[in-house]
A and B are shown apart, each in its own frame.
Chain A
Amino acid sequence: MKRAGFSTRWLPILLLLPQLSIILIFFYWPAAHAVKSSFYLQDPFGFGETFVGMKNYTSLLNSSAYLRSAQFTVVFTLLVTILSLSLALLLAVKADKVIKGAKAYRTLLMWVYAVAPPVAGVIGLVLFDQTWGPLKDFFGLFGWDFRLGVNYFDTAFAMVVVSVWKQLPVNFIFFLSGLQSIPKSVREAALIDNRSASGRFWDVTFPLLAPTAFFLLIINITYALFDTFGIIDTVVKGEPSNNPMTLVYRVYVDGFRGNDLGGSSAQSVVLMVLVLALTVFQFRMVERRIHYT
Chain B
Amino acid sequence: MAQVTLNALRKVYPNGFEAVKPASFTIEKGEFVVLVGPSGCGKSTMLRMIAGLEDITEGDLHIGDRVVNAVDPADRDIAMVFQNYALYPHMTVRKNIGYGLKNRKIAKDVINQKVEDAANLLNLNDYLDRKPSQLSGGQRQRVAMGRAIVRDPSLFLFDEPLSNLDAKLRNQMRIEIKALQRRLGVTSVYVTHDQVEAMTMADRIIVMNGGEIEQIGTPSEVYHSPASTFVASFMGAPPMNLLDAMRENGAVMVGGQKVAEFDGSGLVTLGVRPEDILPDTNGAFEIDVTLIEELGAHRILHAVWAGQSIMISVAKDVAAETGPLRVVIKPDTLSYFDPQTGRRL
Q: Which residues of A contact B (CB under 8 A)?
A: 99, 183, 185-186, 188-196, 199, 203-204, 207-208, 210, 290-293
User: Which residues of chain A have C-beta atoms less than 8 A from B88's C-beta?
Assistant: 186, 189-190, 204
Nearest-neighbour CB distance to chain A for B43, whole angstroms, equals 16
A-B contacts, 12 listed (Cβ < 8 Å): A99-B14, A183-B86, A185-B86, A190-B88, A190-B99, A191-B53, A192-B78, A193-B99, A194-B103, A195-B74, A292-B89, A293-B89
Q: Give 6 closest A-B pairs by Cβ, nearest first.
A: A195-B74, A185-B86, A193-B100, A189-B86, A292-B89, A194-B103
A195 engages B103 (CB within 8 Å): yes
User: Which residues of chain A have C-beta atoms less than 8 A from B78's C-beta?
Assistant: 192
In the complex, B290 has a CB within 8 A of chain A: no
CB-CB under 8 A for A292 and B86, given A193-B74, A193-B103, A195-B72: no
- Measured in the bound complex, the distance between the Cα atoms of B75 and A193 in whole Å is 9
Q: Which residues of B contact A (CB under 8 A)?
A: 14, 51-53, 72-75, 78-80, 82-84, 86-90, 99-100, 103, 131, 133, 147
Q: Which residue in B72, B82, B131 is a CB contact (below 8 Å) of A189?
A: B82
- Measured in the bound complex, the distance between the Cα atoms of B164 and A185 in whole Å is 15
User: Which residues of chain B have C-beta atoms less than 8 A from A191's C-beta?
Assistant: 52-53, 72-74
CB-CB under 8 A for A208 and B90, given A193-B100, A194-B100: yes
Nearest-neighbour CB distance to chain A for B139, whole angstroms, equals 14
The residue in chain A whose Cβ has the minimal distance to the Cβ of B83 is A185
Nearest-neighbour CB distance to chain B for A227, whole angstroms, equals 31
- Measured in the bound complex, the distance between the Cα atoms of B82 and A290 in whole Å is 24
CB-CB under 8 A for A293 and B103, given A192-B78, A207-B90, A208-B89: no
**Chain B interface, >50% SS class:** loop
Nearest-neighbour CB distance to chain A for B158, whole angstroms, equals 13
User: Which residues of chain A have C-beta atoms less than 8 A from B82's C-beta?
Assistant: 185, 188-189
Nearest-neighbour CB distance to chain A for B128, whole angstroms, equals 18
Q: Which residue in A188, A199, A210, A293 is a CB contact (below 8 Å) of B53?
A: A188
- Measured in the bound complex, the distance between the Cα atoms of B105 and A199 in whole Å is 13
B100 engages A293 (CB within 8 Å): no
- Measured in the bound complex, the distance between the Cα atoms of B133 and A293 in whole Å is 6
User: Which residues of chain B have C-beta atoms less than 8 A from A192's C-beta?
Assistant: 51-53, 73-74, 78-80, 100
User: Which residues of chain B have C-beta atoms less than 8 A from A292's C-beta?
Assistant: 89-90, 133
B75 engages A195 (CB within 8 Å): yes
Nearest-neighbour CB distance to chain B for A198, whole angstroms, equals 12
User: Which residues of chain A have C-beta atoms less than 8 A from B131's C-beta?
Assistant: 290
User: Which residues of chain B have C-beta atoms less than 8 A from A99's C-beta?
Assistant: 14
User: Which residues of chain B have C-beta atoms less than 8 A from A190's C-beta?
Assistant: 88, 99
Nearest-neighbour CB distance to chain A for B75, whole angstroms, equals 6
- Measured in the bound complex, the distance between the Cα atoms of B147 and A190 in whole Å is 11
Nearest-neighbour CB distance to chain A for B18, whole angstroms, equals 19
CB-CB under 8 A for A196 and B103, given A185-B84, A207-B90, A290-B90: yes
- Measured in the bound complex, the distance between the Cα atoms of B89 and A203 in whole Å is 11
User: Which residues of chain B have C-beta atoms less than 8 A from A293's C-beta?
Assistant: 89, 133
The residue in chain A whose Cβ has the minimal distance to the Cβ of B98 is A193
- Measured in the bound complex, the distance between the Cα atoms of B294 and A184 in whole Å is 43
Kindly list 13 other residue pairs between chains A and B, CB separation below 8 angstroms, not including A183-B86, A186-B87, A196-B103.
Answer: A186-B88, A188-B82, A188-B86, A190-B99, A191-B72, A191-B74, A192-B79, A193-B103, A193-B147, A195-B72, A199-B103, A204-B88, A292-B133
Nearest-neighbour CB distance to chain B for A205, whole angstroms, equals 10
The residue in chain B whose Cβ has the minimal distance to the Cβ of A290 is B90
- Measured in the bound complex, the distance between the Cα atoms of B53 and A204 in whole Å is 17
User: Which residues of chain B have C-beta atoms less than 8 A from A194's C-beta?
Assistant: 74, 99-100, 103
- Measured in the bound complex, the distance between the Cα atoms of B83 and A183 in whole Å is 12
User: Which residues of chain B have C-beta atoms less than 8 A from A186's C-beta?
Assistant: 86-89
The residue in chain B whose Cβ has the minimal distance to the Cβ of A292 is B89
Q: Which residue in A189, A195, A204 is a CB contact (below 8 Å) of B80?
A: A189
User: Which residues of chain A have C-beta atoms less than 8 A from B89's C-beta?
Assistant: 186, 208, 292-293
User: Which residues of chain A have C-beta atoms less than 8 A from B75's C-beta?
Assistant: 195
The residue in chain A whose Cβ has the minimal distance to the Cβ of B148 is A192
- Measured in the bound complex, the distance between the Cα atoms of B78 and A190 in whole Å is 13
- Measured in the bound complex, the distance between the Cα atoms of B72 and A79 in whole Å is 38
Which of B51, B83, B89 has its CB near the most chain A CB atoms (within 10 A)? B89
User: Which residues of chain A have C-beta atoms less than 8 A from B73's C-beta?
Assistant: 188, 191-192
User: Which residues of chain A have C-beta atoms less than 8 A from B74's C-beta?
Assistant: 191-195
- Measured in the bound complex, the distance between the Cα atoms of B87 and A186 in whole Å is 6
User: Which residues of chain A have C-beta atoms less than 8 A from B100's C-beta?
Assistant: 192-194
User: Which residues of chain A have C-beta atoms less than 8 A from B83's C-beta?
Assistant: 185
- Measured in the bound complex, the distance between the Cα atoms of B89 and A192 in whole Å is 17
